[in-house]
Amino acid sequence: MNTPEVDFKNQTIARIFNTLVFQKQQLAGSDSNTSKNKKSNSNVRITKNTVHLVNEYLKIFATEAILRSKEQKDQKDQEEGQFEDVEQILDVQDLEAVAGLLVLDF
């Protein structure tokens, strides 16, 4: 079985971290702790190793989601008597079927 090639850009991951961690206080509005949080967040840095590690984690997670969905779909097709899936296409329902256990495993 071929393993799907999944790739995420390090720039995208760094941008998500930046948006969620560093710019969250701007969205908080006039909270009394906002200035204190901004001060503490100014010391937070994201290293290249952190971004690379998260990238690898996301690759493993996405690959596992695809493989589990494919396996689940093949099993369902065999039970329904469809032994050959010519298109080999996964849709949202296939991914939703494995999402719960996948998240618990990770």
Q: Where are the domains of the chain?
A: 10-105
In this structure, what token pair is assigned to residue 95? 């991914």
Amino acid 106: pLDDT: 83
At which residue do the structure tokens 């999944």 appear?
A: 6
Q: Can you give the pTM of this predicted structure?
A: 0.68
Phi-psi label, residue 81: left if phi above 0, alpha if psi -120 to 50, beta otherwise: left
**What is the pLDDT at residue 77?**
82
pLDDT number for residue 87: 66
Q: Which residues of the chain have pLDDT under 70?
A: 1-4, 24-43, 83-87
- What is the Cα–Cα distance from 20 to 27, expressed in whole angstroms? 10
